Amino acid sequence: MERSILHVDCNKFYASVECLYRPELRSLPVVVGGDVEKRRGIVLTKNEVAAKYNIKTGEAIWQARQKCPQLVCLPPNFPLYLRYSRLARDIYARYTDRIEPFGLDECWLDVTGSGLFGDGLQIAEEIRERVKFELGITVSIGVSYNKIFAKLGSDYKKPDAVTLITKKNFKSIVWPLPASDLLYVGRATTGKLRNCGIYTIGDLACRTPEYLHTVFGKVGYMLYAFANGLDAEPVCALGDTAVIKSIGNSTTAPRDLENETDVKIVYYVLAESVARRMREQGFRCRTVCVSVRDNELVSFIRQCKLKRYTANAKEIAESAMDLFRQNYTWPKPIRSVGISCTDFEHENSHFQLDFYESYEKRAKMESLDKTVDTLKSRFGNYCIQRGLMLSDAGLSGFNPYDDHTIHPIAYLKSK
C-alpha cells in the first residue's frame, strides 16, 4: 500500500497566537522576536500584515523596523505557544497515532490505512478546517507519499491551504522549485550546488548519484533521493521516546568578542549548562563540538574526541577552547559561539582506569558537580559562579540552561 503522509505547518504560528489573544493587533504589522538590547533581536515570525513589508524570518528587528517603522514587536511567550502546539496535536491524534513533531508548529502524520476518515487529501482538509474552527489559527498541509515531498507541499501554498503531491505530478510541482527548498539544504549546500550549475530540485534530480557523491560525499546520495521522491523515512509513533543524540547550547553575545578571554567566559557559561543537562540525563560525552560565527556572519563548526568520557564543565570548556585556538586566528571579532556534546555513554557504564589519573579525584569532581546542580536548582542559576564569570558580568550574565530551546531530532545525525 502506498503511504499517505501529511505535513501540517501552523501558519506564522507565534504571531498568529499572539494576534488571537490580542484582537487589536490583527490589522497591524506584528513580529515576535528576541531582546533587541541584548542583540538577540531576531524576527522569529511575523503576521500576514508584516509579511507585506517583505519582513523576513531571521533578520534583525532593527532591519525589519527600517522596512516598517510602525512595526509592533512582541517578546515570545513560549508557554502559550506550547499550549497551542499540544492542542493542535490533540486534533491530529484523532486521525492517527503516528505523529512526529518538527518543532512546536510542524508535524508529520502518517495516515496510511486510515480509511475510516477518508484518503489523505480528505483528512488534510478536515484537519485544516478543525484547527481553524477549534483553535482560531490556520495551517497549511502537504499531502504526499513521503515526508520530504509532504514538507514541500505544506510550504507550496500558504496560508490555510492543502497541496497534494503524487508520483504522477511531483515533477511538475517539485522540480521547478529552488534546490534550497529541500529539507536540510542550507546556505552552504546551496552555494555548492550553484557552483555545480544546480539551481532547482529538477537540476539536482537529473544528476547521477555517483556525481553527487563525488561532490558532497554521502550527503550526495541523500540529496539525490530527496529530489527524486525516494525518501522512505518512517513517521515516528506518538509517544515514542526520541533518542538523544546531542546536547548543546549557543548564544549571540551582547557585544562582539574581541579576545580569548571574552570567548572563554562565554564558553564556560555554555559548558556549565551543557554539562548540567547531560548529568540530568545520566550521560557522559566523548565528543565536543564548537561553533563560531564572526560579526560578518561567517561561521564554522569543529569537533574533537576526548581522552575519556566526561560530564564535567571544566573539561568540556577547556576542550572547546583548544578547538577554538586551533581553528581561529582572529580575522574579525566574534558574534556568536556554541558548544554541543555527543557520543554518549551512561554514567553507570564501566570504564578503563588510568594509571596517570586519580580515580578518587574524579569522583570528588563528580560529587562537587552534583552538589552545585542541587544548589542551582534550589537557589537559582546565579547562586554560585566561577570567578572567571565574575570578571565580566555583561558577557556571563545569561542563563542558557533556563533559556535553551529544544530542537527536534534531526533527520541526519549531523547536518
Residues designated catalytic: 106
Q: Please give the backbone phi and psi of residue 328, each rounded to the nearest 5 degrees, phi first.
A: -135, 130
Between helix 120-135 and helix 78-92 the angle, nearest 10°, is 140
CA atoms of 328 and 320, how far apart (whole Å): 12
Q: For residue 300, give the C-alpha cell.
A: 564554522
CA atoms of 216 and 99, how far apart (whole Å): 31
Nearest to 307 by CA among 353, 364, 339: 353
CA atoms of 103 and 99, how far apart (whole Å): 12
What's the helix, strand, coil split of the chain in %, to 5? 40, 20, 35
Q: For residue 275, give the C-alpha cell.
A: 554539562
Task: Verify cis geometry, omega within 30 degrees of 0, for the bond prior to 159.
Answer: yes
Nearest to 120 by CA among 111, 130, 108, 133: 111
Residue appearing with cell numbers 560530564: 311
Check if the beta carbon of residue 147 is closer than 8 Å to that of residue 231: yes
CA atoms of 153 and 146, how far apart (whole Å): 11
Q: DSSP labels for 179-218?
A: GGGSTT--HHHHHHHHHTT--BHHHHHTS-HHHHHHHHTH
Name the residue type at position 142: G
